[in-house]
Amino acid sequence: MKLPSNSFLKKMFSFLLPGLILTVFSSVNAQEFHRKEYNFNSDWKLKQGDIDGAENPRFNDRSWEEVTLPHAYNQEEAFEKSIEEHSTGIVWYRKKFKLPEEAKGKKVFLEFEGIRHGGEIFLNGKKIGLHENGAMAFGLDISDLVNTGNKENTVALRIDNSWDYREKATNAKYRWNDKNFNANYGGIPKNVMLHITNETYQTLPLYSNLETTGTYIYPSEFNIPNKTARINIESQVKNESNSNKNISLEVEVFDMDGNSVGIFSSQPVTMAPGEIKMLKADKNLQDLEFWSWGYGYLYDVATRLKENNEIIDDVSTKTGFRKTDFKDGKIWLNDRVLQMKGYAQRTSNEWPAVGMSVPDWMSDFSNKLMVESNANLVRWMHITPWKQDVESCDRVGLIQAMPAGDSEGDSKGANWDQRASLMRDAIIYNRNNPSIIFYESGNDAISEPHMREMKSIRNTFDPHGGRAIGSREMLDSREAEYGGEMLYINKSANIPMWATEYSRDEGLRKYWDEYTPPFHKEGDGPLYKGEPARAYNHNQDAHAIENIVRWYDYFRERPGTGERVSSGGVNIIFSDSNTHHRGEGNYRGSGEVDPMRIPKDGFFAHQVMWDGWVDIEDHSSHIIGHWNYNDTIVKDEYVVSTGDKVELFLNEKSLGFGEQCHRFLFTFDNVDFEPGTLKAVSYDAEGKILSETEKNTAGEPAAIKLTPRVSPTGFLANGADIALIDVEVVDAEGNRVPTNNSEINFELKGPGKWLGGIGYGPGNDILSKDLAVTNGINRVMVQSLNNAGKITITATADGLNSSEVVLQTIPFETKNGLAEHLPGDGLPFNLERGPTPSTPSYTKKRNPVFIASATAGSNEEEVYRSFDDNELSEWTNDGRINTGWINYEFVQPSQISQVVIKLTGWRTKSYPIRITANGKELYEGETERNLGYLTIPVETVMTENVKIELIGANSEEDAFGDITEIDPTKELDLYKDKEAANAKGQLRIVEIEFYE
């Protein structure tokens, strides 16, 4: 086994004591120069305002604010101000640093993971670059300008985060720089790295400015049962020396324990000065662990350039191997079908008082919570995600849909060029991250030529990564590889369709129900656009129920239910967000957790409903709400469960079985409160117990309980690390009191900065040391300083026993502005769900009956559109009731038991119809309004044909009046289409399916 690369060693042993790390590196560096990657986050200063001469190395910045990156200059406004009130304008960042003498004559690069929004970059007084898209990483070659040895360097950035920032070359705005969804944390809110290489080196995957693509790693020739795959490496190499180089690429793959699992090499090549070549190597490896949902197994792939058998450059890439497929309306991961279930999350993924600039372990904490809710997908909204979140999803085992940059709708001219360039850069930068399996080209439908262009970008830079590229909508696209609408249910037998945003309701965590302080009446709140906004001012119980109702639409049409299926959908959003809002707060309350990631009841509802790849695999139940009321309360109780039936017990006395609806929701009417234990037991159809859960009445509030959470690698004294502290009010037995809202007073002593949490006072109590718990719990943050030591947090409140917690920060070594501890070093992988199961993920629920032909009362030449697997086409009659019929002929006689139909105007129109077979009536009635598909059980009959006919005038009423965020002119839902409302004799069918 060969010695791993320097960068691999650095990551592998990052959990060891710093002194030991330095000893290892010293022994390696004494032999020969190895490529270096430094953490460049320390020792920055910032100042708001457009300051003349701030790029000059001799400029006096002693009065500027000292910060450690990542750090947005206005991040303390996060959740304190509404998104449109975020501070904007010019800010300057400066940093002084020195490079070691060994960097002389080497290549030196700066890697910025992103700035917001547009910035000019200076080194030692000279402008070295411009970056403007406000989202993606970029690199700068500073080799010719940087000083080495003991000579000081000054890097400075002038950054403008104005909402109306315009690209200098085109004067075009960036459409994703939007006050609705892109929280404006300005400056340098992401990490910065510095790289030193030899003059012949493997390039960085930073196309903007550098125009290089780095290393590309992808598996092929999978044998999932035998755990084998061919691992392919393509590394772009550049020779900037003055001589020919005879080199080869050696590859070594290490598992998560640091064991070598394979070594292989490319053919040797000769490179002339200034030449760029792609070196390739591959090998079939055995006994591999495949990355999967909830199984973030990653490998370190060391790629080494060798000349005369000596290593002249080495790169370590952390990646994972997995197999995907997208066909027949379904999605496969490692040969197992997976229905998408998860969240459409704001890319800022922000927290109070720090915005998006959290330490890496907090990204893991937040993203792992999604997995713990049994989500398998996060769709980052509108803008490509930060690399820290991308890598976090790799570790926790969470699939990602990665957008480029967009607002709503297609773009043209310079705006399209901006989007396409951003997609190119994002693909190159993130193509080795296994958790990304979708590339999203737009937050709405784009033209077929634009979709083809995006596919060409994917095919050029990531042709083998196993990633589908598509866009929202794209229901009839011949170019997109997946699609799906917002809010509605789509099905397909071709490309997979999953809903890109559903269940857009809002509700703050402070409102349990109408019976609990502060006794908020369901739906009460400010008007939105002059209209009542009940859907945006939910209590927790109603919000959780809405989540159940909405998910059932997708679960009902899951794989196994027919030829045309739904591949699921993502609920908007996971955590409450400092973005566009419609409820009473100044932030969006659609989250299943609050801004501090404390779960609401919707979190647990999803945890129950989503526990399976397609069908339910592990059974569970959750009682919505709490069990701490007064003796006068009589209320309905709700249980979300995977069982076929649920029985409720109060203090061991059965209250009977709940009424089931939407598969997962069980309602128990008029339950009298009695202190004690409320227990729900779920059963299968034969009476076998599947799961149990209970809620207990807590006693009187007695004490404060503090529980700290820090990084698995320790609380670093680097000026940017954060500790979380859970704050609970508990009874004498230590049980949380779920109705307590006591104000807690905090005191901090030691080398830490108070960040606090979120409340409901002025400015949401951001940064306040007086903060109330909400429903018995809150969470606060403390940030480290640059000096290590003990931080003591004391919490007191009237009538409660106080509590104290002591945190110890660990020294963080930085020298001359450089640190060897990289972001993400040493963080563990989440392997809790285990490898992809080898068993099928669903059973077949019903058999599709295939249509051979059809005749119609009118427009017969268009009748095929009613069963063409295209949800943007329809058949309609001529407006007379007596021509509103279609007769469908089947390929063979079939025993029909269900008709599934999507009718034009599904949310507003009700159609009186009759279904017959050979003259025998199977169904007659008014169709229910819905969000896509209606399943009609019919009298079972063996038949070769079925006739659908209109038997009366349509009625018009919006059954989903709270859902308003739909383009009223575009789709077949006919929302607010007054002409359609006047057409009373129409039968209009988008898609129809028959099952036996």
Catalogue the active-site residues: 501
CA distance 577 to 345: 9
The CA-based angle 142-143-147, given to 5 degrees, is 90
| Crossing angle of helices 413-430 and 448-461, rounded to 10° | 30
Question: Could you tell me what percentage of the chain is helix, strand and coil, using 3-state DSSP and rounding each to the nearest 5?
Answer: 15, 40, 50
Q: Which of 61-89 are b and which e, b meaning 16 or more Cβ less than 10 Å from the residue's Cβ?
A: beebeebbbbbbbbbbbbbbbbbeebbbe
CB 483 within 8 Å of CB 472 = yes
- Beta-bridge partners for 265: 250
| CA atoms of 798 and 770, how far apart (whole Å) | 12
Q: Hey, is 538 helix, strand or coil? A: coil
- Distance (Å, rounded) from C-alpha 938 to C-alpha 662? 19
List Cβ neighbours of 63 (8 Å cut-off, separation of 6 or more): 47
What region does 555 belong to: left with phi over 0, alpha with psi -120 to 50, or beta? alpha
β-strand 988-995 against 875-876: which pairing, if any?
antiparallel
Residue 669, number of CB atoms within 10 A of its CB: 12
* Rounded Cα–Cα distance for residues 11 and 15 (Å): 8
Q: Residues of 900-909 as b/e, b for ≥16 C-beta within 10 angstroms?
A: bbbbbbbbbb
Pull the structure tokens for residue 647: 């029985």
Closest alpha carbon to 190 in 387, 363, 44: 387
Amino acid identity for residue 800 in this structure:
L
- List Cα–Cα distances, 201 to 208, 233, 310, 663, 961, in angstroms: 18, 15, 13, 58, 60
> Per-residue DSSP letters for 194-259?
EEEE-SEEEPPS--TTT----EEEEEEEEETTTTEEEEEEEEEEEE-SSS-EEEEEEEEEE-TTS-
State the Rg of the chain over Cα: 30
3-state secondary structure of 10: helix
212 with 193: CB under 8 angstroms? no
Q: Which residues partner with 672 through β-bridges?
A: 634
DSSP one-letter code for 776: T
With beta carbons less than 8 A apart as the criterion, state whether 664 and 640 touch: yes
- Residue 698 identity (one-letter amino acid): A
Q: Which amino acid is at 173?
A: K
Question: What gap in Å lies between CA 807 and CA 793, rounded to an integer?
Answer: 8
DSSP track, 640-685: EESSSEEEEEETTEEEEEPEEETTTEEEEEEEEP-SSEEEEEEE-T
Element spanning 728, H or E: strand 722-730
Are 717 and 809 within 8 A, CB to CB?
A: yes
Cis bond leading into 606, ω under 30°?
Answer: no
CB 281 within 8 A of CB 265: yes
Residue 467 token pair: 């990633």
